[in-house]
Protein backbone atom coordinates (compact mmCIF):
# COMPACT_ATOMS: atom_id res chain seq x y z
CA UNK A 1 0.00 0.00 0.00
CA UNK A 2 1.27 3.47 -0.85
CA UNK A 3 1.56 5.98 1.91
CA UNK A 4 0.57 9.06 0.03
CA UNK A 5 -0.25 12.51 1.31
CA UNK A 6 -2.79 14.59 -0.54
CA UNK A 7 -3.56 18.26 -0.89
CA UNK A 8 -7.06 18.82 -2.15
CA UNK A 9 -8.16 22.20 -3.42
CA UNK A 10 -7.29 24.74 -6.05
CA UNK A 11 -3.97 25.82 -7.60
CA UNK A 12 -3.52 28.38 -4.85
CA UNK A 13 -3.56 25.55 -2.27
CA UNK A 14 -0.39 24.02 -3.72
CA UNK A 15 2.63 25.43 -1.86
CA UNK A 16 4.74 27.66 -4.05
CA UNK A 17 7.82 25.41 -3.87
CA UNK A 18 5.91 22.74 -5.87
CA UNK A 19 4.52 25.01 -8.51
CA UNK A 20 7.33 24.72 -11.09
CA UNK A 21 7.24 20.93 -10.80
CA UNK A 22 3.48 20.99 -11.19
CA UNK A 23 3.64 23.21 -14.26
CA UNK A 24 6.14 20.83 -15.93
CA UNK A 25 3.94 17.91 -14.97
CA UNK A 26 0.95 19.42 -16.76
CA UNK A 27 3.14 19.75 -19.84
CA UNK A 28 4.29 16.12 -19.53
CA UNK A 29 0.68 15.07 -19.15
CA UNK A 30 -0.25 16.90 -22.38
CA UNK A 31 2.63 15.34 -24.27
CA UNK A 32 1.37 11.86 -23.32
CA UNK A 33 -2.19 12.47 -24.33
CA UNK A 34 -1.66 13.96 -27.76
CA UNK A 35 0.36 12.91 -30.82
CA UNK A 36 1.67 16.48 -31.15
CA UNK A 37 4.52 18.26 -29.47
CA UNK A 38 3.29 20.22 -26.44
CA UNK A 39 3.42 23.99 -26.17
CA UNK A 40 6.59 25.66 -24.89
CA UNK A 41 6.99 25.94 -21.09
CA UNK A 42 6.02 29.60 -21.29
CA UNK A 43 2.52 28.55 -22.31
CA UNK A 44 2.13 26.43 -19.18
CA UNK A 45 3.51 29.14 -16.89
CA UNK A 46 0.96 31.52 -18.34
CA UNK A 47 -1.82 28.89 -18.18
CA UNK A 48 -1.11 28.38 -14.49
CA UNK A 49 -1.61 32.10 -13.82
CA UNK A 50 -4.63 32.58 -16.08
CA UNK A 51 -7.92 32.57 -14.17
CA UNK A 52 -10.20 29.83 -15.44
CA UNK A 53 -13.53 30.74 -17.07
CA UNK A 54 -16.16 31.55 -14.43
CA UNK A 55 -18.65 29.15 -15.98
CA UNK A 56 -16.64 26.17 -14.69
CA UNK A 57 -15.67 24.94 -11.27
CA UNK A 58 -12.58 22.85 -10.70
CA UNK A 59 -10.95 20.81 -7.97
CA UNK A 60 -7.49 19.25 -7.82
CA UNK A 61 -5.82 16.51 -5.85
CA UNK A 62 -2.04 16.74 -5.53
CA UNK A 63 -0.33 13.53 -4.39
CA UNK A 64 3.00 13.33 -2.49
CA UNK A 65 5.11 10.31 -1.61
CA UNK A 66 6.76 9.63 1.78
CA UNK A 67 9.57 12.05 0.95
CA UNK A 68 6.96 14.72 0.17
CA UNK A 69 7.79 14.73 -3.54
CA UNK A 70 4.94 15.59 -5.84
CA UNK A 71 4.20 12.32 -7.70
CA UNK A 72 0.94 13.00 -9.47
CA UNK A 73 -2.28 14.92 -9.70
CA UNK A 74 -5.95 14.60 -10.43
CA UNK A 75 -8.15 17.40 -11.73
CA UNK A 76 -11.86 17.56 -12.21
CA UNK A 77 -13.88 20.24 -14.01
CA UNK A 78 -17.62 20.79 -14.28
CA UNK A 79 -19.99 23.43 -15.57
CA UNK A 80 -21.80 25.60 -13.08
CA UNK A 81 -23.68 27.66 -15.64
CA UNK A 82 -25.48 27.22 -18.96
CA UNK A 83 -25.71 23.46 -19.58
CA UNK A 84 -24.71 19.91 -18.66
CA UNK A 85 -24.68 20.77 -14.97
CA UNK A 86 -24.62 17.09 -14.00
CA UNK A 87 -21.58 16.32 -16.15
CA UNK A 88 -17.90 16.72 -15.38
CA UNK A 89 -14.53 15.62 -16.67
CA UNK A 90 -11.38 14.44 -14.94
CA UNK A 91 -7.68 13.89 -15.57
CA UNK A 92 -5.18 11.74 -13.70
CA UNK A 93 -1.40 11.87 -14.01
CA UNK A 94 1.39 9.99 -12.24
CA UNK A 95 5.11 10.61 -12.88
CA UNK A 96 6.65 7.74 -14.91
CA UNK A 97 8.99 6.56 -12.08
CA UNK A 98 6.04 5.97 -9.73
CA UNK A 99 3.69 4.17 -12.09
CA UNK A 100 2.04 0.81 -11.70
CA UNK A 101 2.03 1.03 -7.90
CA UNK A 102 -1.64 1.88 -7.59
CA UNK A 103 -1.03 5.63 -7.21
CA UNK A 104 -3.21 6.58 -10.19
CA UNK A 105 -6.08 4.60 -8.69
CA UNK A 106 -5.60 6.19 -5.28
CA UNK A 107 -5.60 9.70 -6.74
CA UNK A 108 -8.74 8.84 -8.66
CA UNK A 109 -10.51 7.56 -5.53
CA UNK A 110 -9.54 10.66 -3.61
CA UNK A 111 -10.72 12.92 -6.41
CA UNK A 112 -14.04 11.14 -6.68
CA UNK A 113 -14.77 11.71 -2.98
CA UNK A 114 -14.83 15.48 -3.56
CA UNK A 115 -16.98 15.60 -6.69
CA UNK A 116 -20.14 17.55 -5.80
CA UNK A 117 -23.34 15.55 -5.51
CA UNK A 118 -25.03 17.12 -8.55
CA UNK A 119 -22.46 15.47 -10.85
CA UNK A 120 -23.70 12.15 -12.21
CA UNK A 121 -21.32 11.53 -15.12
CA UNK A 122 -17.58 11.98 -15.44
CA UNK A 123 -15.58 11.64 -18.63
CA UNK A 124 -11.83 11.30 -19.17
CA UNK A 125 -9.85 11.25 -22.39
CA UNK A 126 -6.58 9.58 -23.34
CA UNK A 127 -4.52 8.95 -26.44
CA UNK A 128 -5.79 5.79 -28.15
CA UNK A 129 -3.54 2.81 -27.44
CA UNK A 130 -1.65 4.59 -24.64
CA UNK A 131 -1.09 3.54 -21.03
CA UNK A 132 -3.73 6.14 -20.20
CA UNK A 133 -6.28 4.19 -22.22
CA UNK A 134 -5.31 0.92 -20.49
CA UNK A 135 -5.82 2.69 -17.18
CA UNK A 136 -9.28 4.00 -18.15
CA UNK A 137 -10.23 0.56 -19.46
CA UNK A 138 -9.67 -0.92 -16.05
CA UNK A 139 -12.75 1.00 -14.87
CA UNK A 140 -14.88 1.06 -18.02
CA UNK A 141 -14.55 -1.48 -20.84
CA UNK A 142 -15.84 0.54 -23.78
CA UNK A 143 -15.09 4.10 -24.85
CA UNK A 144 -18.17 6.31 -25.35
CA UNK A 145 -16.69 8.57 -28.02
CA UNK A 146 -13.61 8.42 -30.28
CA UNK A 147 -11.94 11.01 -32.44
CA UNK A 148 -9.15 10.68 -34.97
CA UNK A 149 -6.50 13.35 -34.97
CA UNK A 150 -5.55 14.30 -38.50
CA UNK A 151 -2.82 16.66 -39.64
CA UNK A 152 -1.82 18.18 -42.98
CA UNK A 153 1.77 19.03 -43.81
CA UNK A 154 1.48 22.65 -44.93
CA UNK A 155 4.55 22.38 -47.16
CA UNK A 156 2.48 20.13 -49.46
CA UNK A 157 0.26 23.03 -50.56
CA UNK A 158 1.03 25.56 -53.27
CA UNK A 159 -0.13 29.03 -52.24
CA UNK A 160 -0.77 29.96 -55.87
CA UNK A 161 -3.01 26.95 -56.42
CA UNK A 162 -4.98 27.67 -53.25
CA UNK A 163 -5.38 31.31 -54.25
CA UNK A 164 -6.66 30.25 -57.67
CA UNK A 165 -9.18 27.87 -56.08
CA UNK A 166 -10.40 30.66 -53.81
CA UNK A 167 -10.90 33.13 -56.64
CA UNK A 168 -13.17 30.59 -58.37
CA UNK A 169 -14.96 29.71 -55.14
CA UNK A 170 -15.69 33.34 -54.31
CA UNK A 171 -17.36 33.72 -57.70
CA UNK A 172 -19.27 30.46 -57.32
CA UNK A 173 -20.66 31.27 -53.88
CA UNK A 174 -21.48 34.82 -54.99
CA UNK A 175 -23.52 33.42 -57.89
CA UNK A 176 -25.43 31.37 -55.30
CA UNK A 177 -26.20 34.54 -53.28
CA UNK A 178 -23.56 34.21 -50.53
CA UNK A 179 -20.33 35.92 -49.52
CA UNK A 180 -17.28 35.21 -47.36
CA UNK A 181 -16.67 37.40 -44.31
CA UNK A 182 -13.23 37.46 -42.70
CA UNK A 183 -13.19 36.98 -38.92
CA UNK A 184 -10.66 37.82 -36.22
CA UNK A 185 -11.24 37.41 -32.48
CA UNK A 186 -14.43 39.24 -31.51
CA UNK A 187 -15.16 41.11 -34.71
CA UNK A 188 -18.17 38.84 -35.49
CA UNK A 189 -20.07 41.17 -33.16
CA UNK A 190 -19.53 44.15 -35.45
CA UNK A 191 -19.74 42.25 -38.73
CA UNK A 192 -22.96 40.38 -37.93
CA UNK A 193 -25.96 40.57 -35.69
CA UNK A 194 -24.19 39.08 -32.65
CA UNK A 195 -27.20 37.05 -31.49
CA UNK A 196 -27.54 35.48 -34.93
CA UNK A 197 -23.88 34.62 -35.15
CA UNK A 198 -23.81 32.97 -31.72
CA UNK A 199 -27.05 31.12 -32.45
CA UNK A 200 -25.39 29.74 -35.59
CA UNK A 201 -22.39 28.59 -33.51
CA UNK A 202 -24.74 26.90 -31.04
CA UNK A 203 -26.52 25.04 -33.84
CA UNK A 204 -23.20 23.92 -35.31
CA UNK A 205 -21.95 22.65 -31.95
CA UNK A 206 -25.16 20.79 -31.26
CA UNK A 207 -25.00 19.16 -34.63
CA UNK A 208 -21.64 17.49 -34.03
CA UNK A 209 -21.83 13.73 -33.45
CA UNK A 210 -21.60 12.73 -29.79
CA UNK A 211 -21.75 8.99 -30.35
CA UNK A 212 -22.37 7.27 -26.99
CA UNK A 213 -21.27 10.23 -24.87
CA UNK A 214 -24.10 11.30 -22.56
CA UNK A 215 -23.17 14.99 -22.77
CA UNK A 216 -26.31 16.95 -23.76
CA UNK A 217 -26.88 20.03 -25.90
CA UNK A 218 -24.71 23.11 -25.45
CA UNK A 219 -26.30 26.45 -24.63
CA UNK A 220 -24.22 29.23 -26.15
CA UNK A 221 -25.05 32.81 -25.29
CA UNK A 222 -23.22 35.91 -26.56
CA UNK A 223 -21.53 36.30 -23.15
CA UNK A 224 -20.42 32.70 -23.05
CA UNK A 225 -19.02 32.75 -26.57
CA UNK A 226 -17.18 35.98 -25.90
CA UNK A 227 -15.66 34.67 -22.68
CA UNK A 228 -14.46 31.53 -24.47
CA UNK A 229 -12.65 33.61 -27.07
CA UNK A 230 -11.26 35.80 -24.29
CA UNK A 231 -9.90 32.69 -22.59
CA UNK A 232 -8.24 31.53 -25.85
CA UNK A 233 -6.60 34.92 -26.26
CA UNK A 234 -5.36 34.90 -22.67
CA UNK A 235 -3.74 31.53 -23.37
CA UNK A 236 -1.86 33.13 -26.26
CA UNK A 237 -4.00 31.99 -29.17
CA UNK A 238 -4.76 34.00 -32.23
CA UNK A 239 -8.35 33.10 -33.16
CA UNK A 240 -9.42 33.78 -36.74
CA UNK A 241 -11.34 32.41 -39.70
CA UNK A 242 -14.15 33.05 -42.14
CA UNK A 243 -17.91 32.98 -42.17
CA UNK A 244 -20.26 32.47 -45.09
CA UNK A 245 -23.28 34.76 -45.07
CA UNK A 246 -26.32 35.38 -47.24
CA UNK A 247 -25.47 38.48 -49.31
CA UNK A 248 -28.92 40.01 -49.15
CA UNK A 249 -29.51 39.74 -45.40
CA UNK A 250 -25.95 39.39 -44.00
CA UNK A 251 -27.17 36.34 -42.04
CA UNK A 252 -24.25 34.02 -41.18
CA UNK A 253 -24.86 30.40 -42.20
CA UNK A 254 -21.49 28.78 -41.55
CA UNK A 255 -18.02 29.47 -40.32
CA UNK A 256 -14.58 28.08 -39.71
CA UNK A 257 -12.10 29.22 -37.09
CA UNK A 258 -8.52 28.26 -36.29
CA UNK A 259 -6.30 28.79 -33.27
CA UNK A 260 -2.62 29.62 -33.56
CA UNK A 261 -0.73 29.77 -30.31
CA UNK A 262 2.41 31.87 -30.03
CA UNK A 263 3.87 29.23 -27.70
CA UNK A 264 3.54 26.46 -30.30
CA UNK A 265 4.32 28.12 -33.61
CA UNK A 266 4.78 24.91 -35.61
CA UNK A 267 1.11 23.88 -35.30
CA UNK A 268 -2.14 25.50 -36.24
CA UNK A 269 -5.22 24.01 -34.66
CA UNK A 270 -8.48 23.75 -36.53
CA UNK A 271 -11.31 24.83 -34.26
CA UNK A 272 -14.99 24.71 -35.36
CA UNK A 273 -16.12 24.32 -38.93
CA UNK A 274 -19.80 24.03 -39.67
CA UNK A 275 -22.67 25.03 -41.89
CA UNK A 276 -26.29 25.11 -40.70
CA UNK A 277 -28.60 22.49 -42.23
CA UNK A 278 -30.67 24.69 -44.54
CA UNK A 279 -27.55 25.89 -46.33
CA UNK A 280 -25.76 22.59 -46.82
CA UNK A 281 -25.10 20.83 -50.09
CA UNK A 282 -23.21 23.73 -51.72
CA UNK A 283 -19.70 22.71 -50.73
CA UNK A 284 -19.42 25.55 -48.18
CA UNK A 285 -17.52 23.48 -45.61
CA UNK A 286 -14.66 22.86 -48.05
CA UNK A 287 -14.85 26.42 -49.42
CA UNK A 288 -14.45 27.87 -45.91
CA UNK A 289 -11.46 25.69 -45.23
CA UNK A 290 -9.74 26.66 -48.49
CA UNK A 291 -10.19 30.30 -47.50
CA UNK A 292 -8.66 29.80 -44.07
CA UNK A 293 -5.90 27.66 -45.57
CA UNK A 294 -4.83 30.58 -47.76
CA UNK A 295 -4.58 32.80 -44.69
CA UNK A 296 -2.63 30.12 -42.81
CA UNK A 297 -0.14 29.80 -45.67
CA UNK A 298 0.24 33.54 -46.19
CA UNK A 299 0.24 34.80 -42.60
CA UNK A 300 1.55 32.04 -40.34
CA UNK A 301 4.80 30.20 -40.08
CA UNK A 302 3.29 26.83 -39.14
CA UNK A 303 4.34 23.39 -40.37
CA UNK A 304 1.18 21.40 -39.64
CA UNK A 305 -2.54 22.10 -39.57
CA UNK A 306 -4.35 19.66 -37.33
CA UNK A 307 -7.86 18.73 -36.40
CA UNK A 308 -9.81 16.10 -34.46
CA UNK A 309 -13.10 14.68 -35.69
CA UNK A 310 -15.52 12.12 -34.34
CA UNK A 311 -14.85 8.94 -36.27
CA UNK A 312 -18.49 8.99 -37.39
CA UNK A 313 -18.27 12.53 -38.81
CA UNK A 314 -18.05 11.37 -42.43
CA UNK A 315 -18.71 14.73 -44.10
CA UNK A 316 -15.97 16.56 -42.26
CA UNK A 317 -13.54 13.67 -42.68
CA UNK A 318 -14.08 13.75 -46.46
CA UNK A 319 -13.32 17.47 -46.48
CA UNK A 320 -10.20 16.99 -44.38
CA UNK A 321 -8.97 14.19 -46.62
CA UNK A 322 -9.31 16.48 -49.65
CA UNK A 323 -7.15 18.92 -47.70
CA UNK A 324 -4.36 16.33 -47.34
CA UNK A 325 -5.05 15.53 -43.69
CA UNK A 326 -3.67 12.17 -42.57
CA UNK A 327 -4.50 10.23 -39.43
CA UNK A 328 -1.85 10.76 -36.76
CA UNK A 329 -3.59 9.40 -33.66
CA UNK A 330 -6.80 8.73 -31.87
CA UNK A 331 -8.41 10.38 -28.85
CA UNK A 332 -10.63 8.11 -26.79
CA UNK A 333 -13.19 9.13 -24.19
CA UNK A 334 -14.39 6.95 -21.33
CA UNK A 335 -17.35 7.86 -19.18
CA UNK A 336 -18.26 6.75 -15.67
CA UNK A 337 -21.59 7.10 -13.94
CA UNK A 338 -21.73 7.95 -10.24
CA UNK A 339 -22.87 4.43 -9.33
CA UNK A 340 -19.80 3.09 -11.17
CA UNK A 341 -17.16 5.42 -9.70
CA UNK A 342 -18.50 4.95 -6.19
CA UNK A 343 -17.46 1.31 -6.43
CA UNK A 344 -13.85 1.93 -7.42
C1 LIG B 1 -2.65 6.47 -16.51
C2 LIG B 1 -1.78 6.71 -15.27
C3 LIG B 1 -2.41 7.84 -14.46
C4 LIG B 1 -1.79 5.42 -14.43
O5 LIG B 1 -1.10 5.66 -13.21
P6 LIG B 1 -0.60 4.42 -12.29
O7 LIG B 1 -0.26 4.96 -10.98
O8 LIG B 1 0.42 3.67 -13.03
O9 LIG B 1 -1.97 3.59 -12.23
P10 LIG B 1 -2.27 2.31 -11.31
O11 LIG B 1 -1.01 1.72 -10.81
O12 LIG B 1 -3.30 2.72 -10.31
O13 LIG B 1 -2.92 1.32 -12.38
C14 LIG B 1 -4.27 1.00 -12.39
C15 LIG B 1 -4.57 0.06 -13.55
O16 LIG B 1 -4.36 0.71 -14.81
C17 LIG B 1 -3.89 -0.26 -15.78
N18 LIG B 1 -2.54 0.11 -16.19
C19 LIG B 1 -1.83 1.18 -15.77
N20 LIG B 1 -0.64 1.19 -16.39
C21 LIG B 1 -0.59 0.14 -17.21
C22 LIG B 1 0.38 -0.38 -18.12
N23 LIG B 1 1.56 0.23 -18.28
N24 LIG B 1 0.08 -1.50 -18.81
C25 LIG B 1 -1.10 -2.12 -18.65
N26 LIG B 1 -2.06 -1.69 -17.80
C27 LIG B 1 -1.81 -0.57 -17.10
C28 LIG B 1 -3.86 -1.60 -15.05
O29 LIG B 1 -5.14 -2.19 -15.24
C30 LIG B 1 -3.68 -1.16 -13.61
O31 LIG B 1 -4.16 -2.10 -12.71
P32 LIG B 1 -3.19 -3.31 -12.24
O33 LIG B 1 -1.86 -2.70 -11.91
O34 LIG B 1 -3.91 -3.86 -11.05
O35 LIG B 1 -3.11 -4.24 -13.38
C36 LIG B 1 -0.33 7.04 -15.66
O37 LIG B 1 0.16 6.03 -16.50
C38 LIG B 1 -0.22 8.36 -16.41
O39 LIG B 1 -0.06 9.39 -15.79
N40 LIG B 1 -0.32 8.34 -17.76
C41 LIG B 1 -0.33 9.59 -18.54
C42 LIG B 1 -1.60 10.41 -18.34
C43 LIG B 1 -2.86 9.69 -18.75
O44 LIG B 1 -2.97 9.16 -19.85
N45 LIG B 1 -3.90 9.70 -17.85
C46 LIG B 1 -5.15 8.97 -18.05
C47 LIG B 1 -6.19 9.74 -18.74
S48 LIG B 1 -6.73 11.17 -17.89
Residue 158 per-residue DSSP state: -
Mean of per-residue pLDDT scores for the chain: 96
Q: Is the CB of 105 under 6 A from ligand 1?
A: yes
Using CA atoms, how far apart are residues 43 and 71, in angstroms rounded to an integer? 22
What confidence tens digit (pLDDT) does each residue in 172-202 have?
A: 999 999 999 999 999 999 999 999 999 999 9
Burial of 248 (0-12, 13-18, 19+ CB in 10 A): exposed
DSSP-assigned letters across all residues of 33-48 = SSSSPPPPHHHHHHHH
Q: Is the CB of 110 under 6 A from ligand 1?
A: no
Name 217's bridge partners.
Answer: none
Is pLDDT above 70 for 296?
yes
Q: Is the CB of 333 under 6 A from ligand 1?
A: no
Q: Outline which parts of the chain fall under CATH 3.40.630.30.
A: 5-119, 150-330
Q: So what's the pLDDT on residue 211?
A: 83
What confidence tens digit (pLDDT) does each residue in 29-72 have?
A: 999 999 999 999 999 999 999 999 999 999 999 999 999 999 99
Closest ligand 1 atom to Cα of 104: 7
Question: How many angstroms does the Cα of residue 20 sit away from the middle of ligand 1?
Answer: 24
E strand or H helix at 148: strand 145-153
Question: How many angstroms does the Cα of residue 242 sit away from the middle of ligand 1?
Answer: 42
Closest ligand 1 atom to Cα of 105: 12
Using CA atoms, how far apart are residues 152 and 328, in angstroms rounded to an integer? 10
Coil, helix or strand for 134? Answer: helix
Q: Is the CB of 206 under 6 A from ligand 1?
A: no
What confidence tens digit (pLDDT) does each residue in 130-185 have?
A: 999 999 999 999 999 999 999 999 999 999 999 999 999 999 999 999 999 999 99
Coil, helix or strand for 219? Answer: coil
Once rounded to an integer, what is the mean pLDDT over residues 205-222? 90
What confidence tens digit (pLDDT) does each residue in 237-276 have?
A: 999 999 999 999 999 999 999 999 999 999 999 999 999 9
Fold topology of 5-119: Aminopeptidase (3.40.630)
Name the residue at shortest CA distance from atom 33 of ligand 1: 100
Question: How many angstroms does the Cα of residue 124 sit away from the middle of ligand 1?
Answer: 13
Is pLDDT above 80 for 304?
yes
Name the residue at shortest CA distance from atom 45 of ligand 1: 132
Q: Identify which of 62, 77, 112, 131 to mutate to test ligand 1's pocket (most ligand atoms within 8 A of the CB).
A: 131
E strand or H helix at 288: helix 284-299
Position 27 confidence tier, pLDDT thresholds 50, 70, 90: very high
Range list of β-strands (E), 262-342: 267-275, 304-310, 326-337
Using CA atoms, how far apart are residues 130 and 331, in angstroms rounded to an integer? 10
Is pLDDT above 70 for 1?
no
Once rounded to an integer, what is the mean pLDDT over residues 315-327? 95
Yes or no: say if 284 and 113 are a contact pair by the CB < 8 Å rule. Answer: no
Fold topology of 150-330: Aminopeptidase (3.40.630)
Once rounded to an integer, what is the mean pLDDT over residues 96-122? 98
Q: So what's the pLDDT on residue 95?
A: 98
Question: How many angstroms does the Cα of residue 86 sit away from the middle of ligand 1?
Answer: 26
Amino acid sequence: MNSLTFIIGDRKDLPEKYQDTMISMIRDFDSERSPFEPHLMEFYRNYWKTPRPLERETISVYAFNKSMELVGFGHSFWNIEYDNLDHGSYQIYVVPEERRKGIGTEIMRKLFTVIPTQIENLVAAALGGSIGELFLQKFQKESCYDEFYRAADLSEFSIDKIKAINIKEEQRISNLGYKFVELESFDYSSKFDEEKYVRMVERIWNDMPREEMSFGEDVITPDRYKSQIEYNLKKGDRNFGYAIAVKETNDPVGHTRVLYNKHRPSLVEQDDTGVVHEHRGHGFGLALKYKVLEKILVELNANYWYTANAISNEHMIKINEKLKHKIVGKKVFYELKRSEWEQI
